[in-house]
Amino acid sequence: MSPSIAGHVDNSATRRADLAFVRAAMRAPLLSRDREFDLARRWRDRGDQTALHQLITAYTRLVVASAARYRGYGLPVADLVQEGNLGLMQAAARFEPARRFRFSTYAAWWVRSAMQDFILRNWSIVRTGTTAAHKSLFFNLRRLRAKIDFGVGGPMTPETHARIARTLKVSVADVAHMEGRMSAADQSLDAPAGEESWQDFFADPAPNPEAKAIDDHDGKLRSRWMREALAELGPREQAIIRRRHLAEGGATLETLGREFGVSKERVRQLEHRALQRLRATLSTRVADRTELLVG
């Protein structure tokens, strides 16, 4: 089984089938320009499935050749061929014979694009190449580095970073980041690290059961204190505090003034007096913290 694609089974049977497919693709006869355009027109104008099959079969060798170019990214060649065939089908669906371009030239872009998108989706669990510039950087970094450094190993120098950035029109930071991404493989958190796994070294930000129990207890206690303190206020003061401070989208002084038949200044005075009484009552509770589980 491929380490990259869990659904791909690599055994003798699949290898024989892949080899037979490649041989059949390379044996398919090439098409002349006129024959190519005739098949493309029959498929486009009349939906001729036989013409489509002949057109696709003739250029499957293009898919195989492209898959061989991208085999260095660690993905099964058979999966690359499948993706390339999808690109070839898209090219056949969009090809316009009237423009007089060769189908092979047009299809090459679709095949390459389909394979590159597949590689970017599956090369790593972390998404790579989110923009056209990053995509170009991903697929050209190794080639440009080999050309600039002449196969020198180790980390790239700042000068190499700068030259690649200028060539591909990306930032130096993008080049350095992509170098780091491509030099390190994905690592499972379940992989062993000594007698433990890597995930054992990550702290859990959630509160532990003891802290959660304390928070729940103290939260209920504070809610009870607030209810008892409110009960010591008059009905109108309670209503003002609840409507102004305990309800979502608190009511305005003007709204409460209309409801109680007083001015908004009078509501402000009642609110101020009620808050003072609440603070005084709650301060006595806080002074005696024996009911709290923490000091």
| Tens digits of residue pLDDT in 83-117 | 999 999 999 989 988 887 888 889 999 999 899 88
More confident residue, 111 or 210: 111
Tell me the CA distances in angstroms from 101 to 87, 95, 160, 293, one per residue in order: 17, 9, 39, 80
Which among 272, 289, 284 has a CA at the least distance from the CA of 233?
272
| Mean pLDDT, residues 130-153 taken together | 70
For residue 68, the SS3 value is helix
pLDDT tens column, 228-286: 888 889 999 999 999 888 888 888 999 999 988 999 999 999 999 999 998 888 888 76
Fold for the domain defined by 1-123? Four Helix Bundle (Hemerythrin (Met), subunit A) (1.20.120)
pLDDT tens column, 28-48: 888 888 898 899 899 988 989
| Residue 184: predicted pLDDT | 59
Query: Whole-angstrom Cα distance, residue 100 to residue 84?
Result: 23
pTM for the structure as a whole = 0.49
More confident residue, 8 or 17: 17
Highest-confidence range of 58-67, 123-132, 180-189, 285-294, by mean pLDDT? Answer: 58-67
Q: What percent of the chain stands above pLDDT 70?
A: 81
Confidence grade of residue 222 (pLDDT, cut at 50, 70, 90):
confident
| Residue 6: predicted pLDDT | 46
For the cut 60, the answer to whether the pLDDT of residue 25 exceeds it is yes
pLDDT tens column, 169-181: 888 888 777 776 6
Taking the CA atoms of residue 254, residue 255, residue 256 and residue 258 in that order, the dihedral angle to the nearest 10 degrees is 90
For the cut 50, the answer to whether the pLDDT of residue 4 exceeds it is no
| Residue 3: predicted pLDDT | 42
Tell me the CA distances in angstroms from 94 to 97, 99, 206, 245, one per residue in order: 10, 12, 53, 63
Residues 209-287, CATH architecture? Orthogonal Bundle (1.10)
More confident residue, 154 or 223: 223
| Residue 13: predicted pLDDT | 76
pLDDT tens column, 118-141: 888 887 655 665 667 777 777 777
Query: Whole-angstrom Cα distance, residue 36 to residue 217?
Result: 79
More confident residue, 170 or 294: 170
Q: How many CA atoms lie less than 13 Å away from 166 in the CB half-sphere?
A: 6
| Residue 2: predicted pLDDT | 40
Domain ranges in the chain are 1-123, 127-202, 209-287
| Residue 5: predicted pLDDT | 46
| Residue 295: predicted pLDDT | 46
| Cβ count within 10 A of residue 200 | 10
Highest-confidence range of 6-10, 166-170, 181-185, by mean pLDDT? Answer: 166-170
Query: Whole-angstrom Cα distance, residue 33 to residue 289?
Result: 91
